[in-house]
Amino acid sequence: MRMRMRCRWQGVRGRGGRVATTRAKRVEVSTQGEVSRSLQDIEAVIFDCDGVIWRGMTAIAGAAEAIRGLERKGKRVMYLTNNSTKSREQCAAKLGHFDVKADKSQVICSSSSAARYLDSIGFDRESLKVLVVGQEGITIELQEAGYEVVPCSEATPSSEAKCTIGEFEEITIDEKVGALVVGVDDSFSYSKLCVASLYLSQVEGCVFVATNRDVGDRVGDDGRRIPGAGPVVAAVETASGRKATNVGKGGSWLLPHLLETMQLDAGKTCIVGDRIDTDIALGKESGMLTILPLTGVTDEADLEACPEESYPDLVVESIATLL
């Protein structure tokens, strides 16, 4: 059995004599018994995917078995991911690849949230188009919702990454484009940046949506961080002088949508995720039980620096502890 590492809160006197609360240089990892007791009255468990069920292209040991165990106990299981590269159906298929049986109806991904957000503001799908900087998950979800999509790659002056001043001046603006959705894009380029910023600065009332602001995810055996949607969104915001509405975890729009769409009682719901600023923050805001596994982007050093009010209710080595 793993020895629990006890932690303590320390008061550090700062400017003006005020005491700031910080966590000592140790992290307490919850035992299986503690987790089991905490989940006893929980009816629904929401799982993040990247860094929780899988890491990169590798399954996290024991994750599938833990999820099946919760379902056998009658827990309702859902999946909430900021990944915009896939549609809900594709996310469900990837879960299946990792031996986790899931239906599209159990999944909310940031690509589907982008479509639901446009629905919520009454975006005119009959006469307006949506420009997309991102991958196929966004396009699929928008098209399924009845929106006409313009991939940014089709609006660039050429297939090359560069965009000269002359080429920029010759870009033709489609006046029917009324929204821009930006997510992670593994072929993001200066040319796409030019097109996206042009529409935001030149098309009056153009709606600007970010699927999420995640900096990146840890992948590979060495835990290297691959950039996510956040850097792409930040580049477009900087170039255009506009701020995007974040419809993923970490933004203010998602929580009410999540509670209503999934008909959740927050007090009987648990969220399991590897990010303090998105997964755990969402749970804290709503009053859900929060569990952070140490298999994703957050490590013990991050937890040591975490303020008390943001700290997860439970920290586990992996979600295998939930079994």
Going 159 to 161 to 166 to 169, the CA torsion angle's sign is positive
Helix/strand number for the chain, H first, E second: 12, 17
223 — pLDDT class (breaks 50, 70, 90) = confident
Q: Give the C-alpha separation, 181 to 18, whole Å.
A: 43
pLDDT tens sequence across 261-272: 999 999 999 999
Averaged pLDDT, 247-276: 97
Residue 94 assigned to a binding site: no
Residue that is written with structure tokens 């937890």 in the block:
303
Catalytic residue among 48, 185, 214, 217: 48
Q: Return the percentage of the chain with pLDDT > 90, whole number.
A: 89
pLDDT at 7 over 70: no
pLDDT tens sequence across 160-183: 999 999 999 999 999 999 999 999
**Token reading at 183:** 């997510």
284 — pLDDT class (breaks 50, 70, 90) = very high
**Token reading at 224:** 């290297």
pLDDT tens sequence across 119-175: 999 999 999 999 999 999 999 999 999 999 999 999 999 999 999 999 999 999 999
SS3 22: strand
Averaged pLDDT, 240-256: 97
pLDDT tens sequence across 64-91: 999 999 999 999 999 999 999 999 999 9
Q: Do domains 9-82+251-322 and 111-246 have the same CATH topology?
A: yes
CATH 3.40.50.10310 fits 9-82+251-322, yes or no: no
Going 62 to 64 to 68 to 71, the CA torsion angle's sign is positive
Residue that is written with structure tokens 């995917």 in the block:
49
Residue 119 assigned to a binding site: no
Catalytic residue among 41, 50, 119, 214: 50
Q: What pLDDT, on the 0 to 100 scale, is given for residue 221?
A: 86
Residue at 281: amino acid letter = A
Task: Please give the DSSP secondary-structure letter assigned to residue 133.
Answer: E
pLDDT tens sequence across 304-319: 999 999 999 999 999 9
- Nearest residue to 273 (alpha-carbon basis) of 256, 288, 252: 288
Residue 99 assigned to a binding site: no
Q: Give the C-alpha separation, 296 to 314, whole Å.
A: 15
Instruction: Considering the domain delimited by 111-246, tell me its CATH architecture.
Output: 3-Layer(aba) Sandwich (3.40)
Q: What is the mean pLDDT of the chain?
A: 92
Provide Rg for the chain, Cα atoms: 21
pLDDT at 4 over 50: no
Residue 50 assigned to a binding site: yes
- The full set of domain ranges for the chain reads 9-82+251-322, 111-246
In the residue annotation, 302 being an active-site residue is answered as no
In the residue annotation, 186 being an active-site residue is answered as no
Q: Give the C-alpha separation, 275 to 64, whole Å.
A: 20
